[in-house]
Chain A
């Protein structure tokens, strides 16, 4: 069976206006610009960074392996854009490498969380009955218990050598489905009552077909919003657990860089460029994602554009 949209034939111009709306939406444009800038900082910026974040100072020609006091806590300079830390390592390199790794961890965690939420939410919302009760109850249960504490508990028990970026990403993802599941579930329930689903039923669609060919395309834009949300909160989570020393142990991440900054005594020594650079990257990254999310919401849901400001 062909999807109904194909049978009826929706004109292409809808897609074009959507893109047009998107790039005239101020929030989206600002958010997207900041986001792009930060991604570029990670990828283009790493061209200006040293290849190995662990290597002790490159300041002297050839680089030494010994950390002497005159190489410690250097202020920003052309050689070390953000100076060096207590172990004579280049802070800028840690920032860009950490940024890249954190983005990957958060992206993966977001995919896992959103995928679980979509599947569970669609089953619960469409099938109803006992399955719905079980899924809904577990989601509510997980929402009541703060996931951050459960996460701490899990990563706290895992020995350092087993705490890889992959593991952290998977754990964050596995713990982030409850809220999104409820959103997907309620959206599917709304859509289930819509006329087009009745029509699909009359056309003899199976429930799998209805779910994947009819309802899923309709809620896909919202699932994308959910993904951006999960991505953003996964960044927060990674940096949070990393900052207190429970982040991935096999790679430099933003959380690890935070931890190194705290351990290196950046605050008491007044090395503001160190903690400001790390914090501002995290803040602007999540702010840009919020702006993108709000912008997309307005474009996806034209009703918002008229009601919210119609006071």
Chain B
């Protein structure tokens, strides 16, 4: 006999597998229906490397057409679309993500991701944790205090959460990098080759402070607004009125409200990963921090279809996993679902 909670998990798992297939299919389809000539762009890059001139090789050199056919054959782009899709899907799951056309030496995309992902995670995870904790405390404090603290706090948090991250980092760079000259003006750790050496990590940390501060600050705004609303909702709930009538001290009431309000914030924590990842890309691109944002801007600028396909699918996978975890957590944290008392209301 399958319990309600098990059925819930099975349901969710099936849904997310379907979602993943859809996302992968979309990522496969989009590059192929878009205008633009990725192979031509790659050949141009190659040609410019050798000649030091720009533009138009594809039209000018008669051998270009032959070369193009060769490249298309090598990458299997002449095979029927469904064969291409399944070949790509199987290879993706195996860890063979193809070769990036953005760089003339065709590095494997997975190597690029291995190199650029750690700095991004180094940025995202601490900032998510810090902004979540601080934001929740601030939000609960505002809601429990009420009055002027709440009013001023809420409007300032609303203002903070509306500042575009890519602009805030510009302002911070100006203040700390240009005016006071204590922090670097660009996220690129010199001309060092990315590696796991101590020196590189030290340099990276130095360039990590500003983007980290930026996304943490803006995150605090968003989390505190959400938490404030949840706590106020709890304070207005009937059980709270009852407890108040029983004469429980204010401190205990506040704790009750906080504990109940934090549950949706746990779920939001896991869910926010995707949005944060996307928002963070812009910060990285603007600051030149050597993370996924920088990699993506290189790949997008050079129409690297294999790179885009792999990186977008990888991103979608990460986001879906985070959401899946959030959904399962939701079932777990809410005892009504865990014990199978109620069905989950979508």
A contact set with B: CB distance below 8 Å? 136, 141, 144-146, 148-150, 152-154, 156-159, 162, 236, 239-240, 243-246, 258, 262, 266-268, 270, 272, 275-276, 278-279, 282-283, 286-287, 290, 307-311
Tell me the B169-186 residues at the A interface (CB within 8 Å).
Answer: 170-171, 173-174, 177-179, 185
| Cβ–Cβ contact B170 & A275, under 8 A | yes
B contact set with A: CB distance below 8 Å? 19, 22-23, 26-27, 30-31, 34-36, 143, 146, 158-159, 162-164, 166-167, 170-171, 173-174, 177-179, 185, 232, 235-236, 274-275, 277-279, 281-282, 285-286, 296-297, 300-301, 303, 308, 312, 315-316, 319-320, 323, 346
| Cβ–Cβ contact A283 & B179, under 8 A | no
| Cβ–Cβ contact A240 & B282, under 8 A | yes
Q: Which residue of B lies closest to A159 (CB)?
A: B36
Within 8 Å CB of A266, what residues of B?
170
Within 8 Å CB of A279, what residues of B?
163-164, 167, 170-171
Q: Which residue of A lies closest to B302 (CB)?
A: A156
| Cβ–Cβ contact B319 & A144, under 8 A | yes
Within 8 Å CB of A149, what residues of B?
278, 281, 312, 315
Nearest CB in chain A: distance from B334 CB, A: 19
| Cβ–Cβ contact B146 & A311, under 8 A | yes
From A145, A276, A307, give the contact of B23 (CB < 8 A): A145
**Apart from A153-B312, A157-B30, what 4 extra A-B contacts exist at CB < 8 Å?**
A146-B275, A146-B277, A156-B308, A244-B297
Within 8 Å CB of A246, what residues of B?
300
Within 8 Å CB of B296, what residues of A?
152
Within 8 Å CB of B167, what residues of A?
258, 275, 278-279, 282-283
What CA separation (Å) do A150 and B235 show in the bound complex? Answer: 40
Pick 19 A–B contacts, CB within 8 A, sort by A: A136-B346, A141-B22, A144-B323, A149-B278, A150-B26, A152-B300, A153-B300, A153-B312, A154-B30, A156-B300, A156-B301, A156-B308, A162-B35, A244-B286, A267-B174, A283-B164, A290-B158, A307-B236, A311-B235
| Cβ–Cβ contact B174 & A272, under 8 A | yes
Nearest CB in chain A: distance from B245 CB, A: 16
Q: Which residue of B lies closest to A278 (CB)?
A: B167
Question: From DSSP, what is the main secondary structure of chain B's interface residues?
Answer: helix
From B178, B274, B277, B281, give the contact of A270 (CB < 8 A): B178
Question: From DSSP, what is the main secondary structure of chain A's interface residues?
Answer: helix
Nearest CB in chain A: distance from B263 CB, A: 20
| Cβ–Cβ contact A157 & B178, under 8 A | no
Q: Which residue of B lies closest to A271 (CB)?
A: B174
Nearest CB in chain A: distance from B152 CB, A: 13
For the complex of A and B, the 7 pairs showing the least CB-CB separation, nearest first, are A157-B34, A146-B278, A156-B300, A279-B167, A148-B278, A244-B285, A286-B162
Within 8 Å CB of A158, what residues of B?
34-36
| Cβ–Cβ contact B319 & A311, under 8 A | no
Within 8 Å CB of B174, what residues of A?
267, 270, 272, 275
| Cβ–Cβ contact A287 & B30, under 8 A | no
Q: Are A287 and B158 CB-contacts (below 8 A) given A146-B278, A162-B35?
A: yes
What CA separation (Å) do A244 and B285 show in the bound complex? Answer: 7
What CA separation (Å) do A275 and B286 show in the bound complex? Answer: 13
| Cβ–Cβ contact A148 & B279, under 8 A | yes
Within 8 Å CB of A154, what residues of B?
30, 34
| Cβ–Cβ contact B178 & A268, under 8 A | yes
Q: Are A144 and B274 CB-contacts (below 8 A) given A239-B164, A286-B162?
A: yes
Within 8 Å CB of B35, what residues of A?
157-159, 162
From B23, B173, B236, B320, give the contact of A267 (CB < 8 A): B173
Within 8 Å CB of A150, what residues of B?
26
Nearest CB in chain B: distance from A264 CB, A: 12
Residue of B164, B315, B316 with highest tally of chain A CB at under 10 A: B164
Nearest CB in chain B: distance from A99 CB, A: 15
What CA separation (Å) do A267 and B186 show in the bound complex? Answer: 10
| Cβ–Cβ contact A311 & B232, under 8 A | yes
Within 8 Å CB of B319, what residues of A?
144-146
What CA separation (Å) do A296 and B26 show in the bound complex? Answer: 38
| Cβ–Cβ contact B185 & A267, under 8 A | yes
Q: Are A145 and B232 CB-contacts (below 8 A) given A157-B36, A270-B178, A290-B162?
A: no
Nearest CB in chain B: distance from A70 CB, A: 23
Within 8 Å CB of A267, what residues of B?
170, 173-174, 177-178, 185
Q: Which residue of B lies closest to A279 (CB)?
A: B167
Q: Which residue of B lies closest to A157 (CB)?
A: B34
| Cβ–Cβ contact A262 & B158, under 8 A | no
What CA separation (Å) do A141 and B232 show in the bound complex? Answer: 30
| Cβ–Cβ contact A243 & B282, under 8 A | yes
Within 8 Å CB of A309, what residues of B?
146
What CA separation (Å) do A286 and B161 show in the bound complex? Answer: 10
Within 8 Å CB of A239, what residues of B?
164
| Cβ–Cβ contact B166 & A243, under 8 A | yes
What CA separation (Å) do A305 and B312 show in the bound complex? Answer: 44
| Cβ–Cβ contact B315 & A244, under 8 A | no
What CA separation (Å) do A107 and B31 show in the bound complex? Answer: 28
Within 8 Å CB of A156, what residues of B?
300-301, 303, 308
What CA separation (Å) do A240 and B26 show in the bound complex? Answer: 23
